Structure formats: structure tokens, C-alpha cells
Amino acid sequence: MSSKESNPYENAMKQLESTARLIKLDPDVHEMLRNPKRILSVSLPVKMDDGHVKNFQGYRVQYNDARGPFKGGIRYHPKVTLDEVKALATWMTWKCSVVDIPYGGAKGGVICDPKNMSNSEKERVTRRYTAMIADFIGPYRDVPAPDVYTDSQTMAWILDTYSQIKGYQVPECVTGKPIALGGSEGRNNSTARGCIICAREAAKQLKVPLKGATAAIQGYGNAGSWSAVFLQELGVKVVAVSDSQGAIYSKNGLDSAKTLKHKEEKGSVVGLGGSEQIEPEKLLELDVDILVPAALENSITADNARNVKAKIISEAANGPTTPEADSILERNKVLVVPDILANAGGVTVSYLEWVQNLNRQHWTEEQVNAQLEQKMVSAFKACYETSKKYSVPMRSGALALSIKRVADAIKLLGIWP
């Protein structure tokens, strides 16, 4: 997204502005929430494989910690901007608040092109970045996690670097770690699980029976493929899926395991036996009960929103629906479970990983999933009730609920010194 098109931080502040009017937010609290609490900008000189030193730019934005330690991912991308990181830190604050976990919001980013870097170069960037922000992170201060082009291996390097600096092992300093280093069971599919729990709860509200219901999934990566598995377990027929290569449809339903196997073997879902290829944009307009956007931002726009026939949209991706599209979907009585809630399963299990690490425990997948279920159902109910209270869509209801919780914490804490 270019800054000319849309500034993500300005968008985040517009959301705050409209929510502040809705909930009659204390102007003093609003003033405090206009800016992140802390912005770290760090210079990262790194020796590359050919021996020359390259300087990378890194950021860590800590937006608000009134409800607990800062929490948020670290992304490696050539187009990382400070305004993007500030916006993501803001949204992480609301996301943690909406599922009622005791975290604030943060985000990190390094401007680099990981696709053109060796593993050892990525390791050196990660360790240098960790060393530069080490005084500002930690289990009770700021707990990083993976994001775009970072993964459990990246977290292992951060864990080791931070622990070496401290002089003892601190597994609770990051989440999204490998299982062997204290990572949590159930983390891999937690985003999809949370998303489909939300879709299920939305179906209850609309009295849509799930047995025999139909669904379409845009995107068949981790979140999309696991969403298909969980929908199938509920008796929902997934009739269409897509990836970056194209989209497929079968009125009889697509088997999630066969579809994933085909994608792994052929590099795309396209060409799966028993399916027909359709235009990717048509997938969003199919006559289905549930639509799961699990791909790119801005997929549902003013151009196609009026053609959406789904009764429920559960947003596994970040920002798949534009504000203009939201208004159209609201008029057409489509229940949109917003990303801030629908894809919060990941950060919820990150929190559960942190709790396990702090207590030096390791829970079973069943224990983790049971707690995720309870958290997501409770959060859905609270967001739905808030949206009804203010007579607004669920996205506005979720923001109202989360921002009010943060505001209440700020007011109770007061300003010191």
C-alpha cells in the first residue's frame, strides 16, 4: 500500500476518532491515545555473506501498555514503513483488548528483503535487531511474536540472543517459538480455529443451521486450509477455495485434506479432480452461507460488495474489507465478524504460550483448544452485544468494546509522574 493511496496510521486514528464519538470517550484519554507510548528506531549494521557490511533500518513501536505488557509481531519486508508499524501496534492493542487478554499492543519491523537473504544473513539481522531493542523487551515489558516473513526459527534466535544478554534462559520473552523451546501446542492452527468459532457463533445468532450449510474460502495458506478443516468438522460444505494461482468450485463440496494434498503436490488448488476452475473474483460473489477471506487486504470493495451473497463473513485475513464495502454489506444485512476479533485466535494462543512459559508448564493441545474456545466465544458474545447496544456493525462494536476497556485501564491508572 503506497502512502499516496492510504496511510495506515491515519486510518487507525480515524477509527479511533469515530469510536471516540460513539462511546463518548474522555477527551483526555483520547489525547493520550493519539500517539504511541514509545517509538524505537534502530540502525542495524550486519556483515553479509560476501563480507561487506549492510545497514538495515529497524523499528519497534509500543503503542499502549495500560492493560499489560506490549505484545505484537515482527515483520521483515522491503516495504515496511514507520506509519505501517505504528498502525499495526495500534490495532494489536485493540485486538488484545477485544479478546480480554492482559496485553497492550506493539509491532516491530525491519526493512529488508528476506527472499533474497541467506538463512545466516537473516539470523545476523535478527540477533542484531534483538540486541538493539533488548532493553525495551522482555516477559513483563514487551513480548514479540512472528509476523510477515518471520517464523518460529526467528523467535528461537530472538530467545537465544535475549537469554545470552540476560545470562539465563528466558523462554517467555517471545511467543510463536518451536515446540522444543517452549512453544505451545495448537499454535499452528489457532488463527483458523478462532475464525471458525466466530463463524459458528455468528451462525447461531442468525439461526443458520451448519449441517449442510455452504462456505467459500479465499486463500488456501495456513489460515485458509485449516478453516476448511474446521468448517468440514462442523458439517459445512466448502464449495469453493482459491489461492494466488486461481480458484476452484464444486457444488458437491471439496474435501479439505485432498485439496491441501493437491496444492502441496502441484503448487496450487487449481486442477483438483472433481472441481471446475472459476474466476477468483467470482468466489467472493458465490451464493454461500459463510465466506472466509483468508488472503489479501482490500479484497471486498465498493466494486464487489453489493454482489456478495454470503450471510456471514468471518475475516481470517487482516483488513480484507474496505470501509466503503462495510457500509454496503451492512445495508445488505451481511453479518461481518471483523478481523480484530475473527483472527485473534493466534494472539490468544500466544498469550496461553506465555502463561505456560511463566509457570514452566506444557499443556496438551486439548487444554489449549479448550481455553481458546472459551476466550473466543466470550469475546464474540461481548462484541455482538456491544454492536447491538450501539446499533452499529460488529466491526464498530468490537472497536467500541476494546477501546473502552483500554480507556478504563488508563483512567484507573492515572498519569504519573
Cβ contact 184:152 at 8 Å: no
Q: How many CA atoms lie within 13 A of 283 on its CB side?
A: 31
**Dist CA 78 CA 116 (whole Å):** 10
Question: Which is catalytic among the residues 71, 86, 95, 107?
Answer: 107
Which residue reads 488472503 in cell numbers? Answer: 295
DSSP code string of 87-119: HHHHHHHHHHHHTT-S--EEEEEEE--GGGS-H
Sheet architecture: strand order including 290-293? 276-278, 246-249, 237-243, 214-218, 290-293, 312-314, 335-337
Non-local CB neighbours of 10 within 8 Å, separated by 6+ positions: 83
Which residue reads 530467545 in cell numbers? Answer: 159
User: Is residue 107 flagged as an active site residue?
Assistant: yes
Strands 246-249, 276-278: parallel, antiparallel or unpaired by DSSP? antiparallel
What proportions of the chain, in percent to the nearest 5, are helix, strand and coil? 50, 20, 35
3-state secondary structure of 43: strand
**H helix runs in 99-182, sequence order:** 119-133, 152-166
Query: Which residues form the catalytic set?
Result: 107
